[in-house]
Amino acid sequence: MKSDGIPATVCQERRKDPIEMFHSGQLVKVCAPMVRYSKLAFRTLVRKYNCDLCYTPMIVAADFVKSIKARDSEFTTNQGDCPLIVQFAANDARLLSEAARIVCPYANGIDINCGCPQRWAMAEGYGACLINKPELVRDMVKQVRNQVENPRFSVSIKIRIHEDLRRTVDLCQKAEATGVSWITIHGRTVEERHQPVHYDAIKIIKENISIPVIANGDIRSLKEAENVWQVTGTDGVMVARGLLANPAMFAGYEETPLKCIWDWVDIALELGTPYMCFHQHLMYMMEKITSRQEKRVFNALSSTSAVLDYLTDHYSI
């Protein structure tokens, strides 16, 4: 597989099947696919704080298949980075199945993005427009199943809901019949951004299918995660912005502990994280523990050494 441009990794945790985790009866805590953010270093951090399953950022399958450079820049992993799901944006079953074949030795499964509401993604035939194309979703799932020989390799989808929930239930039932391993549901429609999440809709969908369901949307603490899990009857919860603000959230911390901040520094420097990403994550983590004046100073820092000096002076442990 070295010819595919991905360094080979061996991970004992690959043997931990996410499907088995979802059937454990325990809350499965999941880090969402976040563009620019849920990369290897951040996944490494949240795993230290009780995150059970991590997704990569969304990767465009066509670029990934056609370019070794894209593979090198978009997908990095290591021995401890598991269980791991690679999320792809795709509108072509053949290209998606080839992308799945490439990542199969290094991940537990792939996820098809059927929920991104951004205009560029929908204009390309990716993301949330796929919730209106169940036949294409079926074809993509089937071709991945045919291409990947490993029967434990999962194929999941992440969706948004329709205004008419019956359409979403129908989509999910068709996906289940096609062989989807589980479904993540963001409880908003494509048009909704900051409106309340429809957890009641997630509950109804869960009651109408037999495969595992992950609830997603506006979960900011472990207590909220446990409440959503109980209310919806789902098998796991997926968190995005809540983990950005507090990577230790799943370990029960109400705000980012200083130990987590220094863990991020160590991990990011060890893995060679670009400065902009390194700094941006710290800005999110320190949002609740810094004053307005401190934010102005910290956010204006322009080098790794300046950040390290600032943290040592203000938060040395």
Q: Take residue 151 and report the two structure tokens written for it.
A: 């029967």
240 is in an annotated binding site: yes
Residue 220 and residue 245 in contact, taking contact as beta carbons nearer than 8 Å: yes
Q: Take residue 38 and report the two structure tokens written for it.
A: 């849920």
- Where b means 16+ CB within 10 Å and e means fewer, 128-152 reads bbbbeebebbbbbbebbbebbeeee
Set 31, 114, 116, 129: catalytic member = 116
Identify whether 51 is a catalytic site residue: no
- Cα separation, 214 vs 237, in Å, equals 5
33 is in an annotated binding site: yes
87 is in an annotated binding site: yes
- Cα separation, 124 vs 108, in Å, equals 27
Which DSSP letter does residue 27 get?
P
Q: How far is CA 150 from the centre of its chain?
A: 22
Which DSSP letter does residue 239 get?
E
Active site residues: 116
**Which residues are documented as binding site for FMN?**
33-35, 87, 186, 240-241
Known binding-site positions? 33-35, 87, 186, 240-241
